[in-house]
Amino acid sequence: MFSNTCLLNRGCRAFARHLHSDQPSRLRLKTQFTERRPTHVDHLTWFTAESFGGPDRFTRDLGFDYIIAVHRGLAITDEQRERFAQLYLEAFEEAGLFDDPAFRAAVREHAEFGAQVAQQNSHAKTDDELHPIRAVPHWTWDGNDD
- DSSP conformation letters of 9-78: IIIHHHHHHHHTS--GGGHHHHHH--S--TTHHHHHHHHHHHHTT---HHHHHT-HHHHHHHHTT----H
pTM: 0.82
Q: What is the pLDDT of residues 4-56, one digit of tens each?
A: 445 455 566 666 666 666 665 555 556 656 666 778 778 888 898 889 888 89
pLDDT category at 2 given cuts 50, 70, 90 is very low
